[in-house]
Amino acid sequence: MRKKRSSVLALTGLTLLLAATACSNSGGGNGNGNGNDGGSGNVAGANEGGETKAADPITLGMMWWGTDERHEATKNALALYAKQNAGVAFKPEFMAWDAYWQKLPTLAASKTIPDVLQMDAAYIQEYVARGQLEDLSDIDLSGIVDPNVVENLKIGGKLYGIPLSQNAQGIAFNKAELEQYGIALPQKNWTYDEYFQWARDARAKLPEGKYPIGDSTDWGGYNMYQTSMGKDPVMADGGKKFTLDKDLFMTYYKTYEEFRKAKIVPPAEKGAAFLENDPQADPMASGVVMTRGATTGSVSALEQLMPGKVGVVNMPTGPSGGGWAQSTIFLSVSANSKHKDEAKRFLRWFITDKEAGKTLGLTRGIPINPDIYKDLEPTLAEKDKLGKEIYDLSVEKALPFYSAAAGFSEWVDTYNKEMQAVTYGQQSIEDAYDKINKMGTELAAKAGS
Amino acid sequence: MGTAEPLSQAGYAEAVKAPGRKRKNKGETNLAGYLFISPWLLGFFLLTLWPIAQSFYLSFTDYSLLEAPVWTGTSNYANIFSNDATFTKSLSVTFVFVLISVPLKLFFSLMVAIALSRNIRGMNLYRTAIYFPSLIGGSIAVAALWRNMFGLDGYVNQVLAWFGIQGVGWITNPDTSLGTLILLNTWQFGSTMVIFLAGLKQIPQELYESASVDGAGRFRKFVRITLPMLSPVMFFNLVLGVIGSFQTFTSAFIITKGGPINSTYVYALFLYDKAFKHYQMGYASALAWILLGIVAALTVLNFLASRYWVFYESDGGKAK
């Protein structure tokens, strides 16, 4: 087994060597656009050190999460880069979201994070705070990414992740069934009051066993409500400031309590069995709930479960706005990478190369680079148009994207469990508030000390 | 015995004649032996003992994986015992799980083993079929099966509906969710059953024959012969069952994720969340050591209690 592997390795090396010399010959000749850096580097290498130097290919590790569609597209893009840049090979690792964030901390602890890694807005602060990510401010993004976007993404004045796409949060609804039951479709920039009233009205027209909206137990849903009403986000200033407005909290969850009694939201037992994007258990695709949250990046999966039936609208708004619309998915470089320059060159290529853009499509949302999106626009499928629609609807009123502060992951779980106890009728809203507020306040005090 | 005697005599003679040489010889033999098992030893020291020692140290620290551990003394333990409601909850969930599932599993596997110990044509087929669930126990497929069976619109409720009974969402109802996991655990009685089966085969037939001659009925034979003769095997299964049940994880992790509202939040899942979801490695290590303490104490208790109900044939069939 081992012997076999080493001979495979030698063979790969030989192949790469041949490829490298072959490319350097032609690379010197045409030398246009992308891959020129890598190509000319190889020419120099071949000239100085002969064959031995060109035989030293760089292998960049790259890790990302996502769906199969994204995995395939990304692998193809990597192959494209390797073709354009002889001497660079990749060691890709890809998995689903949960597995990714389980694996990354252990890699970080052993300082073996791959050279290039996908990052999410929900986690990037934590990894930057722990010195795991390389400063990417010197990558030239002018003309590729809006300077305002870049400025907004900086953490402590430095850029640690190259934004890949535009993302936004909205609500998907079952257009076909709402029309069938004569229910008015949700309208852009609806307010929370209109949203709640819409749900009450829809209840009257829907048959038993179907529900207008889903229940709310996670902190994110409430945080959107609190911020849209002009209050501070629940967590601010890296977790040092904690705000859980009791009046708003009570109003919000009292409304849902009323909804549970009136069967406007499904009973807790039913809600707990939902599993998003599962053909049978998805709350909306199963035909049980008429609406559910969806993002630009995720709505296509829902559309594929119920083709032609999905409509979208932005999040309900308050006096300060509502929802969010911004980049949440990035590529970063590990601070422990041995090939930082090559990794940075690759990152820039990833969002500028037209061929790469075509290969990657919308597998990470709407490409951040307007030129690439323009090329893709005429060929967009229906499922991708929905994602764009959520973004376009949300941009006007969008608030910032709020992620849980570092050290609050357990609080997030607690929030969910305490609110779940409320939905099962085992606890009063007030008791849940006290517990959640106490824990959050203590964590904030700890973060501030 | 016969072949070992001359060798040891020779060795003895040699030792008397030249004690120094013997010691050297013995050292060499030992060294060779250790060399032979060195791959295993290395694995044991580096991959088992070292991490265990490390976890003991970490249990006195605050360690988030991304930063170096910070020594905090016994504060992890103090926090766990004084103000962690989840610890109490998960421990009580686990105790309920152990208390119900261990006896249930022992009972069922014993009954099945007795049924399978008879000599019927095609018995091997039955044995295989009945052992089968244990092979696929922790898999995703079983989790999906369980969801379909015990879901709100699952098979179980459909069957109940034939009799006019309105079912509940067995998995998503906090009162019944732990029950479904206990049922799943009981269903995987395969290995326990096989051990019982082996134990049953060991019981000498003469005992039954002479009891029959004395006019003992089936029930009497079972209580007076089978159970006492089987008690060492029962004890073994009990100890393993208790240890295994305390560490139960997979089904709760895959099927219920500990919910709804912590009703199936077993201790191992709590520990896992602390370690790999919230990255509180120090706290999780402390939890692991507490679990070890609990399991060790219960095992000792089991051994002490065994004096009163386990009978070993070699001791003349008497309980100590």
Between A116 and A364, the more confident residue is A116
Share the mean pLDDT of chain A: 84
Q: Looking up tokens 């008015």, which residue turns up?
A: A184
Domain presence at residue A3: no
Burial class (CB in 10 A: 0-12, 13-18, 19+), A232: middle
Rounded average pLDDT over A57-70: 90
Q: Which residue, A136, A88, A132, A93, is CA-closest to A109? A: A132
Same domain, A183 and A104: no
A49: pLDDT strictly greater than 80? no
Residue B113 lies in a domain: yes
- Cα(A340)–Cα(A327) distance, rounded to whole angstroms? 23
Residue in B65, B83, B175, B269 to test binding to A, most A beta-carbons within 10 Å: B65
Q: Is residue A116 predicted with pLDDT exceeding 60?
A: yes
Smallest Cα distance from B104 to chain A, Å: 27
Q: Which residue among B147, B168, B276 places its CB closest to the CB of A269?
A: B168
- Residues of chain A contacting residue B273, judged by C-beta atoms under 8 Å apart: 413
- Comparing C-alpha atoms, which of A67, A28, A73, A72 is closest to residue A46? A28
> Does pLDDT of A9 surpass 80?
no
Cβ contacts (< 8 Å) between A269 and chain B: which residues? Answer: 152, 168-169, 172-173, 260
Residue A218 and residue A200 in one domain: yes
Give the containing element (helix H, strand E) for A221. Answer: helix A219-228
pLDDT of residue A416 exceeding 60: yes
Cα(B303)–Cα(B106) distance, integer angstroms: 17
Q: What is the mean pLDDT of residues B111-121?
A: 85
CB-nearest to B67 from A130, A273, A413 is A130
pLDDT score of A272? 85
Q: Would you say residue A26 lies in a domain?
A: no
pLDDT at B15 over 50: no
- HSE-up of A189 (CA within 13 Å, CB side)? 8
Q: Which residue of B has its CA nearest to A113?
A: B66
Residue A29 lies in a domain: no
Same domain, A292 and A413: yes
Distance between CA atoms of residues B213 and B223, nearest Å: 17
Tell me the HSE value of A325 on the side-chain side, using a 13 A CA sphere: 20
Q: CB under 8 Å, gap of 24 or more: what pairs does B161-165 form?
A: none
pLDDT, tens digit, 9 for 90 and up, residues B97-106 = 999 999 999 9
The shortest CB-CB distance from B172 to any of A132, A272, A421 is to: A272
Do residue A285 and residue A313 come from a single domain?
Answer: yes
Which tokens is A267 given? 């009973």
Share in percent of chain B as helix, strand, coil (round to 5): 75, 0, 25
B262: contact with A, CB 8 A cutoff: yes
Closest by CA position to A332, among listed A172, A127, A79, A167: A127
In a domain, A12, yes or no: no
Q: Which residues contact B272 (CB under 8 A, 6 or more apart)?
A: B249, B253, B284
Which residues, including other chains, have CB under 8 Å from residue B195's CB and lie 6 or more apart? B233, B236, B237
Locate the chain B residue with the closest alpha carbon to A127: B66
Q: At what angle do helices B19-36 and B4-17 cross, to 10 degrees?
A: 130
User: How many angstroms separate the CA atoms of A87 and A338, rounded?
Assistant: 15
Beta strands in A24-141 (DSSP E): 58-65, 88-95, 116-120
Statement to judge: residues A155 and A224 lie in one domain = no
The Cα–Cα gap between B29 and B49 comes to: 25
User: Looking at CA atoms only, how far is residue B277 from chain A in angstroms?
Assistant: 7
- pLDDT for A251 equals 95
Structure tokens at B96: 């309920």
* Overall average pLDDT of the B135-154 stretch: 75
Least confident of A19-28, A68-77, A363-372, B249-258: A19-28
B7 Cβ under 8 Å from any chain A Cβ = no
Whether A424 and B67 lie within 8 Å, measured CB to CB: no
Is A215 part of a structural domain of the chain?
A: yes
Contacts of A218 in chain B (CB under 8 A): none
Residues from chain A contacting residue B169 (CB–CB below 8 Å):
269-270, 272-273
Copy the structure tokens of residue B104. Answer: 């249930």
* B16 located within any domain: no
Indicate whether A270 and A390 sit together in one domain: no
- Cα gap A309→A177, rounded to integer Å: 8
Same domain, A275 and A423: yes
Q: Which amino acid is at B102?
A: V
Is there a single domain that holds both residue A77 and residue A174?
A: no
Is A406 found in the same domain as A265?
Answer: yes
pLDDT at A33: 37
Domain of residue B130, CATH code: 1.10.3720.10
Region of poorest pLDDT, from A138-142, A353-357, B144-148, B228-232: B144-148
pTM: 0.78
- Single out the residue in A370, A394, A418 at which a domain terminates: A394
Q: Say whether pLDDT at A345 is over 90.
A: yes
- pLDDT value, residue B110: 92
Report pLDDT for A147.
Answer: 83
Query: Is residue A1, in this structure, part of any structural domain at all?
Result: no
- Range with the lowest mean pLDDT among A13-27, A250-264, B36-50? A13-27
Looking up residue A180, the CATH number of its domain turns out to be 3.40.190.10
A286 Rama sector, left if φ>0, alpha if ψ -120 to 50, beta otherwise:
alpha
CB distance A417 to B174 below 8 Å? no
A394 in Cβ contact with A328 (< 8 Å): no
In chain B, whose CA is at the least distance from the CA of A98? B277
HSE (CB half, 13 Å, CA atoms) of A414?
22
pLDDT band at A156 (very low <50, low <70, confident <90, very high): confident
Q: From chain B, pick out residues whose CB is under 8 angstroms from the CB of A270.
A: 152, 169, 172
Q: What is the mean pLDDT of residues A336-349?
A: 93
Mean pLDDT of A191-216: 94
User: Per-residue pLDDT for A12 more than 70?
Assistant: no
What pLDDT shows up at residue B5?
Answer: 44
Averaged pLDDT for residues A201-208: 93
* Residue B276 to residue A421, Cβ atoms within 8 A: no
In a domain, A21, yes or no: no
Percent of chain B with pLDDT over 70: 89
The structural domain count of chain B equals: 1
- Res A157 pLDDT > 60: yes
Report the DSSP beta bridge partners of residue A90: A60
Displacement of CA A252 from its chain's centroid (Å): 27
Task: Determine, for residues B261 and A269 on separate chains, whether the beta-carbon distance falls below 8 Å.
Answer: no
C-alpha B131/C-alpha B128 separation (Å) is 5
Spatial contact of A276 and A97, defined as CB atoms under 8 Å apart: no
Query: What are the tens digits of pLDDT across the range A349-406?
Result: 999 999 999 999 888 888 998 889 988 888 888 888 888 899 999 988 889 888 888 7
The structure tokens listed for B229 are 């003769």
Does B259 sit within 8 Å of A417, measured CB to CB? yes
Among the partner-chain residues B151, B259, B279, the one whose CB lies closest to the CB of A105 is: B279
| Contact criterion met (CB < 8 Å) for B172 and A268 | yes
Instruction: Give A282's contacts in chain B (Cβ within 8 Å).
Output: none
Residue B122 included in any domain = yes
Is the per-residue pLDDT at A201 higher than 80? yes
> What is the tally of structural domains in chain A?
2
Q: Which helix (H) or strand (E) holds A105?
A: helix A97-109
> What is the per-residue pLDDT for A24?
38
**pLDDT of A69 above 90:** no
pLDDT (0 to 100) of residue B137: 61
**pLDDT given for residue A198 in this prediction:** 95
Determine the pLDDT at residue B316: 61
Greatest mean pLDDT among A159-173, A383-397, B304-318 lies in A159-173
Chain A touched by B55 (CB under 8 Å)? no
The CA distance from A208 to A199, in Å, is 14
User: Could you tell me the residue range of the domain that residue A442 belongs to?
Assistant: 168-325+402-448
Count Cβ neighbours within 10 Å for each residue of B239-278 and write b for 16 or more, e otherwise.
bebbbbbbebebbbbbbbebbbbbbbbbbbbbbbbbbbbb
Q: Tens digits of per-residue pLDDT, B195-225?
A: 999 999 888 888 889 998 988 888 888 888 8
Q: What is each CA distance from B90 to A278, B43, B80, B266, in whole angstroms?
A: 29, 33, 12, 5
Are A109 and B174 within 8 A, CB to CB?
A: no
Beta strands A165-174 and A325-326 are antiparallel
Please indicate, yes or no, whether residues A273 and A358 belong to a single structural domain of this protein: no
The single-letter DSSP state of residue B243 is H
Specify whether the CB–CB gap between A265 and A357 falls below 8 A: no
Are B171 and A132 inside 8 Å of each other by CB? no
Q: Of the candidates B65, B172, B276, which has its C-beta nearest A269's C-beta?
A: B172
Helix (H, G, I), strand (E, B) or coil at B205: helix
Q: Say which of B65, B168, B278 has its CB closest to residue A108.
A: B65
Taking residue B166's Cβ as centre, other Cβ atoms within 10 Å add up to: 7
Do A155 and A209 lie in one domain? The reply is no
pLDDT classification of A31: cutoffs 50, 70, 90: very low
**Nearest-angstrom CA–CA distance, A178 and A308:** 13
* Length, in residues, of chain A: 449
Res B2: pLDDT: 40
B4 assigned to some structural domain: no
On whether both A191 and A289 belong to a single domain, the answer is yes
Mean pLDDT (whole number) for B52-78: 90
Q: What percent of chain A has pLDDT over 70?
A: 88
Chain A contact residues (CB < 8 Å to B): 102, 105-106, 108-109, 126-127, 130, 132, 268-273, 409-410, 413, 417, 420-421, 424, 426
Weakest mean pLDDT among A256-260, B13-17, B251-255: B13-17
Query: Could A272 and B169 be called an inter-chain contact, meaning their C-beta atoms sit closer than 8 Å?
Result: yes
For chain A, the C-alpha Rg in angstroms (whole number) is 25
Report, as an integer, the average pLDDT of A328-332.
93
- pLDDT reported for residue B266: 94
Longest distance between any two alpha carbons in chain B, whole Å? 91
Do the domain assignments include residue B74? Answer: yes
Residue A4 lies in a domain: no
pLDDT at residue number B4: 42
Domain range holding B264? Answer: 62-306
How far is it, in rounded angstroms, from Cα B281 to Cα B62? 7
A409: which chain B residues are within 8 Å (Cβ-Cβ)? 277-279
Partner residue opposite B259 with nearest CB, options A409, A410, A420: A420
